[in-house]
């Protein structure tokens, strides 16, 4: 098992390949198979358009933020890596409606008011959150969603721990991380009166989404 303590100190900024992230992703047909489709699917669920506000957690080099901003949405991107965000900043001009913020714990401590986003999205980052902290991360993401807003995630994930173990035994390029287990996430969303939807893109990659209940009628 990965020690949580070690994982918490695992920082993107400590690795040289971080500065080549986009090229590494494009060249990787295993871990990042169907990457572009996953990002498009997550963006479609967030329905970016002028007047909509989208929060991208673990925004990294800003690829998903660029898709959403390109369709007119206002995007706030959070990440804990200055080197990833530096690449993101290079993709945007002053007029782009994108705000990129370096924060220590982007899933668990979102520096934004309750209900301030129409959609909360994330791609290939939630697996950095240890299992025992995922329920709190979900609650924090739901907190900043407006009633009726959409949560959408693309990441390595598994239906359950058994499927995860099977994949770890099958794919030698897959390293153990805190991959989301769908059966463990469902009750967390159910507690927020949200129903988790799923679509599998590769043997290890899923898009998950759920809508926050609309505000009760007065
Ligand atoms: C594999 S990259 C994904 C970047 C981008 N979202 C994408 O789809 O290409 C993972 C990102 O998550 C960030 N990250 C690492 N640990 C994190 C954590 N605990 N919470 C939020 N983001 C984290 C990293 O700095 C990195 O930018």
Q: Which two tokens stand for residue 7?
A: 């994982």
3-class state of residue 217 by DSSP: coil
Residue-level pLDDT at 46:
98
Region at 124 (left for phi over 0; alpha for psi -120 to 50; beta for the rest): left
**Level-2 CATH architecture, domain 5-211:** 3-Layer(aba) Sandwich (3.40)
CB of 64 closer than 6 angstroms to any ligand 1 atom: yes
Could you read off the pLDDT tens digit of each residue along the chain, which spans 218 residues?
A: 344 444 443 578 888 889 999 999 999 999 999 999 999 999 999 999 999 999 999 999 999 999 999 999 999 999 999 999 999 999 999 999 999 999 999 999 999 999 999 999 999 999 999 999 999 999 999 999 999 999 999 999 999 999 999 999 999 999 999 999 999 999 999 999 999 999 999 999 999 999 999 987 65
Burial class of residue 116 in the structure, from the number of CB atoms within 10 Å of its CB (0-12 exposed, 13-18 middle, 19+ buried): middle
pLDDT of amino acid 30: 97
| pLDDT number for residue 218 | 55
- List pLDDT tens digits, range 68-105: 999 999 999 999 999 999 999 999 999 999 999 999 99
Ligand 1 neighbour 59 (Cβ under 6 A): yes
Q: Whole-angstrom Cα distance, residue 13 to residue 15?
A: 6
Q: What whole-number distance in Å separates Cα of residue 27 and Cα of residue 20?
A: 11
- Which residue spans within 26-73 are E strands per DSSP? 53-57
Domain ranges of the chain: 5-211
Angle at 112 between CA 49 and CA 179, to 5 degrees: 80
Ligand 1: which of 14, 21, 58 to mutate, judged by most atoms within 8 Å of the beta carbon? 58
Distance 108 CA to ligand 1 centre (A): 13
Look up residue 60 and give its two tokens. Answer: 């990294």
Contact 87, 21 (CB under 8 A): yes
């Amino acid at each position: 098992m990965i020690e949580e303590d070690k994982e918490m100190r695992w920082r993107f900024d400590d690795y040289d390949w971080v500065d080549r992230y986009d090229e590494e992703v494009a060249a990787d047909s295993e871990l990042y198979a169907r990457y572009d489709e996953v990002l498009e699917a997550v963006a479609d669920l967030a329905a970016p358009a002028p007047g909509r506000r989208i929060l991208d957690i673990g925004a990294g080099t800003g690829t998903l933020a660029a898709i959403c901003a390109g369709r007119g949405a206002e995007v706030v991107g959070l990440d804990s890596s200055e080197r990833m965000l530096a690449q993101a900043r290079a993709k945007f001009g002053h007029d782009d409606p994108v705000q990129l913020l370096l924060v220590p714990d982007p899933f668990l401590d979102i520096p934004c008011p309750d209900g301030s986003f129409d959609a909360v999205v994330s791609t290939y980052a939630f697996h950095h959150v240890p299992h025992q902290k995922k329920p709190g991360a979900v609650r924090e993401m739901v907190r900043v969603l407006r009633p009726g807003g959409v949560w959408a995630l693309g990441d390595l994930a598994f239906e359950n721990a058994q499927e995860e173990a099977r994949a770890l035994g099958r794919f030698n390029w897959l390293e153990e991380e805190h991959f989301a287990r769908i059966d463990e996430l469902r009750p967390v969303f159910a507690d927020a009166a949200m129903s988790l939807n799923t679509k599998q893109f590769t043997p290890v990659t899923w898009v998950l989404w759920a809508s926050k209940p609309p505000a009760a009628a007065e």
